[in-house]
Amino acid sequence: MASLNVGNLGEFLREQRRTAQLSLRQLADAAGVSNPYLSQIERGLRKPSAEILQQLAKALRISAETLYVQAGILDERRAPDGTGVQTAILTDPSLTERQKQVLLQIYESFRKENGLGGSDATGGTAQRSDDGPTDGDRPHEAQADGGPHAT
């Protein structure tokens, strides 16, 4: 197991909290930890348990695995199941929560379309049928209002 790098974890948590536009007090309340304890974690003075990291991840709406990696509890892995991409999207400080969710939905729909499946985080996507005309047959029909039956 890798050693705990609390300084980087604290900086990462602070950046995620600011990106989510949460005050220290708001995040502490949402995660069920005390305000001073969270402040100490962010400043690198405390080593939170895996359970506390999980609570913080839930409050920040990011994966607990992401925080475990930042804390050095888990080694970062680049799995072919798409978790690396999902983690990158969820932890990008330059994206809003809405943008993150939209990107995840698009990513999952592409994976499903290519037969790679995945979690049903997108709420399901329709499978394309090869029976009907392709975009090349009637290029402007489906683009009128973006719907599949547009004319």
- One pLDDT digit (tens) per residue for the chain, 151 residues: 333 445 589 999 999 999 899 999 999 999 999 999 999 999 999 999 989 999 999 999 988 888 888 888 877 665 556 677 888 888 888 888 889 889 988 988 888 888 876 544 433 333 333 444 444 444 443 344 444 444 4
Q: How far apart are CA 86 and CA 111, in angstroms?
A: 12
Q: How far apart are CA 76 and CA 72, in angstroms?
A: 9
**Which pLDDT does position 7 carry in this prediction?**
57
**Which pLDDT does position 79 carry in this prediction?**
53
Other beta carbons within 10 Å of 22: 17
Asked if 104 and 125 touch (Cβ cutoff 8 Å), the reply is: no
Q: How far apart are CA 138 and CA 26, in angstroms?
A: 52
**Which pLDDT does position 82 carry in this prediction?**
67
pTM tops 0.85: no
Please enumerate in sequence order all residues whose Cβ is within 8 A of that of 22, keeping only pairs 6 or more positions apart, or say none. 30, 59, 60
Radius of gyration of the chain (CA): 20
- 73, amino acid identity: I
Other beta carbons within 10 Å of 37: 15
Two tokens, residue 83: 């978790």
Asked if 57 and 67 touch (Cβ cutoff 8 Å), the reply is: yes
**Which pLDDT does position 12 carry in this prediction?**
92
